[in-house]
Amino acid sequence: MKTYITNIGSKLVTKIKGFRITRSVFAYPYVLFMSLFVVAPLVILLANAFISNGQFTFSNFSDLVRDGASLKTLSFSILVGIITTSLCLLIGYPVAFILSKWSSGRLIVLLFILPMWVNFLIRTLSTRYMFEALGIELGIGTLIFGLVYNYIPFMILPLHTTLSNIDKSYSEAASDLGAHSITTFLKITLPLSMPGILSGITMVFIPTISTFAITQFLGGTSAHLFGDSINTKFEHQLYGVGSVMSLIMLALVLVSNYFMRKTNRGEAARNLW
């Protein structure tokens, strides 16, 4: 026994003596941080989803299905997400398109990003006070306004990157072959900007569904999104159901990530981040 311990001791000593600062050493704090604050919570979340009253169970899932309100919120959230994303796309695409044509486009894009540097709580609160001052009642309309206002840079940026990277000679060639400007746009520019559109959609849609601060400030009493429901469940200490809902969110993120990767090999997103 004694020899065994000394054996371990000497092994440890050689290990410590053999310790050298290599490049991978610098990654340890990061790995530690990530496992503590990202991986561990995910594991807890996963465990929580299958535990109720200290026992392994699927009851959290059946609770969620039985509780119609949460599912209704989910479908409502998806609807709001679709509306917000479409509005962002409809406003953002022309903006990005015009900016990519202008030589001063980069500067104006910067102006679009600039508000992002202001804390979004302050921005959202200011929007709320603005509506109150104007006497507009808070509700679904104001909520969508706030969402579009907050997330439109995430639509414009990838679109602008993709659009300004499209070689000008493609549209020249189309025009040369007899295409008018609208035909050129529909047949050349739009299909070539698809990666930007997809990454813009992903970057607006998912955060919209899961947001809860914006709904609390701008949604009034009527509008609740899925993020709010999760928040409420955790506030009421319904960890199990809350975890299941979080897992649904996570699944949505993974699915959209998969599609984004498949269609554009992550190009536009990489440029943005």
Partner 1 sequence: MTTDKIIELKNVSKSYDEKPVVSSVSLTIKKGEFVTFLGPSGCGKTTTLRMIAGFEKPTSGTIYISGKDMTTSPPYDRNVNTVFQNYALFPHLNVYNNIAFGLKLKSIPDGTFFVDKNGNKFENLRKLTKDEIAAKVKTALKMVDLEEYEKRNVSSLSGGQKQRVAIARSLVNEPDVLLLDEPLGALDLKMRKDMQIELMNMHKKLGITFLYVTHDQEEALTMSDTIVVMKDGIIQQIGTPQKVYDEPANAFVADFIGESNIFSGIMVTDFNVKFCDHSFECVDKGFKYNEPIDVIVRPEDVSILSSDDARAALLATISSCVFKGDHFQITAIIAGGEDYEMLIHDNVNCRPGDKVGLYIKPSDLHIMHKARIINEIVTEMWDTNTVEICGGKFPCQCDLPSGTKVKVSVDFDDVIIYDDENDGIIGGEIVNTIYKGNYYQCVVRTDTYYDFFADTEDEWLKGDRVGISVAPDKILITKLEETI
Residues that bind partner 1 (CB under 8 A): 167, 169-170, 172-180, 183, 187-188, 191-192
CB of 226 to partner 1, least distance (A): 35
User: What's the rounded Cα separation, in Å, for the pair 32 and 29?
Assistant: 5
CB of 85 to partner 1, least distance (A): 23
Sequence-distant (6+) residues with CB within 8 A of 229 are: 69, 70, 73, 74, 245
CB of 187 to partner 1, least distance (A): 8
3-state SS, one letter per residue, for 200-258: HHHHHHHHHHHCCHHHHHHCCCCCCCHHHHHHHHHHCCCHHHHHHHHHHHHHHHHHHHH
Closer residue to partner 1, CB minimum distance, 175 or 271: 175
Closer residue to partner 1, CB minimum distance, 57 or 189: 189
Closer residue to partner 1, CB minimum distance, 14 or 181: 181
User: What's the rounded Cα separation, in Å, for the pair 82 and 250?
Assistant: 18
Closer residue to partner 1, CB minimum distance, 86 or 189: 189
Q: Are 174 and 188 in contact (CB under 8 A)?
A: yes
Taking residue 184's Cβ as centre, other Cβ atoms within 10 Å add up to 19
Q: Nearest-5° angle of CA 34, CA 204, CA 256?
A: 65
CB of 203 to partner 1, least distance (A): 22
Angle between helices 239-264 and 226-235 (to 10 degrees): 150
User: What's the rounded Cα separation, in Å, for the pair 58 and 112?
Assistant: 46
Taking residue 23's Cβ as centre, other Cβ atoms within 10 Å add up to 6
CB of 104 to partner 1, least distance (A): 15
Closer residue to partner 1, CB minimum distance, 192 or 249: 192
User: What's the rounded Cα separation, in Å, for the pair 45 and 51?
Assistant: 10
Closer residue to partner 1, CB minimum distance, 21 or 182: 182
CB of 204 to partner 1, least distance (A): 24
CB of 181 to partner 1, least distance (A): 8
Closer residue to partner 1, CB minimum distance, 55 or 103: 103
User: What's the rounded Cα separation, in Å, for the pair 27 and 33?
Assistant: 10
